[in-house]
Amino acid sequence: MRWLFIALIASGMCHGVDMYFNPELGTGANDGTTEADAWRTFAAVDAGASAGDTVWTKTPSGPFNVAAINSTFSTMAGTLVAPIQLIGYGSVIGDTGFAEFFSDAGGVSTVSFSGVYIYFIQIKYENTGNVGAFRADGNGSVAIFCETIDSGGATEPMSRAGLFYHYKGADDLTVTTNGTAAYYNYCFFEYTGTTASFNFLNFDMFGIAATVQNCIIDGNGFARGIFINRFDSSEGIQISNNIFYDCDDGIYFDEMPGSVDDRALISRNIFDTMGGYAINYNTGTANAANHTQIQVVNNGYWNVITSFLRAGWTGVDYDNRSLSGSPFDNAAGGDFDLDDTADEGALLRSLGFPINMVFDWANIDYRATFEGGGGGTTIIVVED
């Protein structure tokens, strides 16, 4: 059993009131004040929730179909110290159940909250239709222990920030940082499609920085793990402590840094089984020669078919280690714990690389404790 402690907010949080949302509830006052009087619509939640409120969210009969909604809700908004939290639960408030939603729309169906500092916690969404999304889109919003499954046409990430967020599907995830920073920590991105050189986690970097760390990106043998679509006036991107598994290219720069302020740090990642390069770039794109603003340091790699870096790379390339075999216990089976084999997992272990990276979503239990008065916010994760 492993315990992972993640500090979210160093300062104390301000608390509002507990409110309730159940889209299936046809009785009661539907004013959100109790479980028996829960709000029934997203519009009611949007109009009624205030900064600091917790909206306990329940879908008692299983996944609730949001295909007919297709709306952006923009009224409610939290603050840094008083976010609005939509927390899913199963049968009892505070349990580890999820509130589940899906869309089977033949056209476009999007449920989006554009206000700032909205937290989705224990929310699942599956798109089985054409184009659908369920997301908290505003600055400072985050998806914590949430899951997006795309088994339809196309979808989008649940938020530009994720902590223990799981995405599984065949569509690309486009993350635009124009005005809103992107931050993903302890997330699992699984590509299920079969399109060669598919641009999977697609960053459109403009105006604000991005961070991807402690994540697993599984390309299913086809996808480029992280695709940098645009890299201009972005303040940079940090890609560190991640695992890239079974990808075409691990990281692909379609555009290199556009100004002296654009930087990239690629550090302490593990690249296992790349069909092309661990790090590749478009030689014919704008700013193709700006390698010197990208630092590639202290990474480990094995079974990279072409080479670790594309030929012609002139950026920082320091202390990147070629391994003698896969460093994981059983990557194909989803076990990304580092093994004890010399020149593989044992080497990375000695260098302080991430040791325990198992994402078994069926057996993860999670508790969140929100403490005010300077106590901060701590996510405690127990994995059996």
* Domain residue extents for the chain: 1-167, 172-353
Q: How close are the terminal C-alpha atoms of the chain, in Å?
A: 5
Tokens 């997330």 -> residue: 187
Q: Which amino acid is at 312?
A: G
* 309 DSSP β-pair partners: 279
Q: For residue 342, how many other CB atoms are within 10 A of its CB?
A: 11
Which is nearest to 44 in space by CA: 76, 68, 67? 76
Q: What counts of helices (H) and strands (E) characterise the chain?
A: 2, 37
Q: Tens-digit pLDDT profile for the chain (384 aa)?
A: 233 334 444 345 667 899 999 999 888 889 999 999 999 999 999 999 999 999 999 999 999 999 999 999 999 999 988 999 999 999 999 888 999 999 998 888 999 999 999 999 999 999 998 888 999 988 889 999 999 999 877 788 899 889 889 999 988 887 776 666 788 888 899 999 999 988 898 888 776 778 899 899 999 999 999 998 877 766 678 999 999 999 999 999 888 776 666 788 999 999 999 999 999 988 887 666 777 788 999 999 999 999 999 988 888 899 999 999 999 998 888 888 899 999 999 999 888 887 666 555 555 554 443 333 333 344 434 333
Q: Please give the DSSP secondary-structure letter assigned to residue 290.
A: G
* Cα–Cα distances in angstroms (integers) from residue 288 to residues 223, 256, 263, 314, in the given order: 22, 6, 14, 11
Asked whether the beta carbons of 23 and 30 are under 8 A apart, the reply is: no
Residue 57's nearest CA partner among 69, 74, 42 is 42
Bridge-partner residues for 85, per DSSP? 54, 119
Q: Give how far the C-alpha of residue 71 lies from the chain's centroid of Cα atoms, to the nearest Å.
A: 23
Identify whether the C-beta of residue 241 lies closer than 8 Å to the C-beta of residue 268: yes
d(C-alpha 376, C-alpha 311), whole Å: 47
DSSP 3-state of 363: helix
Q: What is the largest CA-CA distance in the chain?
A: 68
Q: Please name which of 230, 269, 229 lies closest in space to residue 250, comparing C-alpha atoms.
A: 269
pTM of the model: 0.89
